[in-house]
Amino acid sequence: MYTEADLQSAVTAGVISHEAADALRAHAVGLRSAPSVDEEHFRLITGFNDIFVTIAAVLLLVAMGGIGQAIAPGLAGALIAAAAWGMAEFFTARRRMALPSIVLLLAFVGGLVAAPIELLAENGANLTDRTGTLVAAAIALFAAGGTWLHWLRFMVPITVAAGTAALVAMVLALIAAALMPLFPHDGEVVMMPLAFASGLAVFTLAMRWDMSDRKRETRRSDVAFWLHLLAAPLIAHPLFHAIGVTEGENIAPAAAIGVIAIYMAMGVVALAVDRRALLVSALAYVLVAMTMLLRQFDAVELNVALTGLVIGSALLTLSAFWTPIRHWVVDQLPQRLRSLVPETGLLRA
């Protein structure tokens, strides 16, 4: 199985011509009866060996964590980060295995974050809320620096999203520490709008990566995918929190309808930019809202089943007709915006 990145690499290396690569893509499109650009490809697994290596790597990382924890405080995270980097030298730098590379990157960042936290916990640091928030910002900055070095060495697409998440956490922590005296008991009033603004900023960054590869033929598209996956919950959670969905099970019908309306708006954006992550991230909120809405109409026994039927059918229909629907949505955009979003195409009989 060969990915778009492999095909582009072959063109760059001169193994095949650009025309031959385009012909192969066109042939593959004909076999699938769907435009390649609308398939939202990204590398995750190329064979069972990816799963095999990932399982072995996780076992080794767990062992390193256990050994480090038994020796000294903070050593567990350090050993995990070191082991993850060491394994990445072979499985990422040399073998270019997708799933192990993702897991090893997450383990590396997790180790960097866990080491100072474990040290503080072991030494019984009695920090005030404000000091603890500043320490969290410092740890996030440390993790961001580690991901930057990891990107320079290995260039795993998810690394950009991991580093961006660390920077977002640092910025939010610094702002929270600065505003904590003004909002000592109701920090959500400030943090939710800030999280939403952060989500929009990450979405803008994701679109910059997307716009640099509108045909989705290089790893830049994979980087954009992970950034969209990060931006989606940062955008969705504050919106649904604002209309009271996260407060509990007593969701008013108006709030439930608001959730559905927001989800539909996010669906239009997802179609325009050809990224399904926005829909997936908000799915849990919609399921809860629909369940509560059906309960208002005394459909208590079947509310979960009916919710699954309605949402599942809608998503399957959207998936089946994604390309023509997306083509129509993109056609409604102004020409300037149309030139920024990924290309689209109509199905042909």
User: Is the residue at 267 inside a domain?
Assistant: yes
Q: Which two tokens stand for residue 186?
A: 């109701």
Going residue by residue through the chain, which has 349 residues, state the pLDDT in tens, using 9 for 90 and above. 555 656 666 666 676 776 676 666 665 555 444 555 556 666 677 778 899 999 999 999 999 999 999 998 889 999 999 999 999 999 999 988 989 999 999 999 999 999 999 888 877 667 777 888 899 999 999 999 999 999 999 999 999 999 999 999 999 999 988 888 777 667 678 889 999 999 999 999 999 998 888 888 788 889 999 999 999 889 988 888 888 776 655 566 777 778 888 888 888 999 999 988 788 877 877 877 777 766 666 655 666 777 788 888 888 988 888 888 998 999 888 888 888 888 776 544 3
User: Is the residue at 150 inside a domain?
Assistant: no
Half-sphere exposure of 343 (CA within 13 A, CB side): 10
Q: What is the pLDDT of residues 74-120, one digit of tens each?
A: 899 999 999 999 999 999 999 889 899 999 999 999 999 999 998 88
Quick one: pLDDT at residue 257? 79
Quick one: pLDDT at residue 141? 96
First to last CA, the chain: 26
User: Is the residue at 160 inside a domain?
Assistant: no
CA distances from residue 342 to 30, 210, 284, 318 in whole angstroms, order as listed: 20, 7, 27, 18
* Cβ atoms 196, 164 nearer than 8 A: no
CA distances from residue 66 to 45, 101, 104, 122, 144 in whole angstroms, order as listed: 28, 22, 17, 16, 25
Q: How many structural domains comprise the chain?
A: 1
What sign has the CA pseudo-torsion 111, 90, 57, 157? positive
User: Is the residue at 189 inside a domain?
Assistant: no
Concatenate the DSSP letters of all residues of 289-344 into one string.
HHHHHHHHTT-TTTHHHHHHHHHHHHHHHHHHTHHHHHHHHHHTS-HHHHTTSPP-
Nearest to 232 by CA among 280, 271, 169, 168: 280
User: Is the residue at 292 inside a domain?
Assistant: yes
Q: What is the pTM of this model?
A: 0.83
Domain hosting 274: range is 243-349
The residue to which tokens 């974050």 are assigned: 113
Quick one: pLDDT at residue 175? 92
Quick one: pLDDT at residue 147? 97
CA distance 165 to 10: 32
Quick one: pLDDT at residue 244? 74
Alpha helices in 180-297 (DSSP H): 188-211, 219-242, 253-273, 277-281, 283-296
137: DSSP letter: H
User: Is the residue at 39 inside a domain?
Assistant: no
User: Is the residue at 255 inside a domain?
Assistant: yes
User: Is the residue at 339 inside a domain?
Assistant: yes
Q: What is the pLDDT of residues 247-271, one digit of tens each?
A: 655 566 777 778 888 888 888 999 9
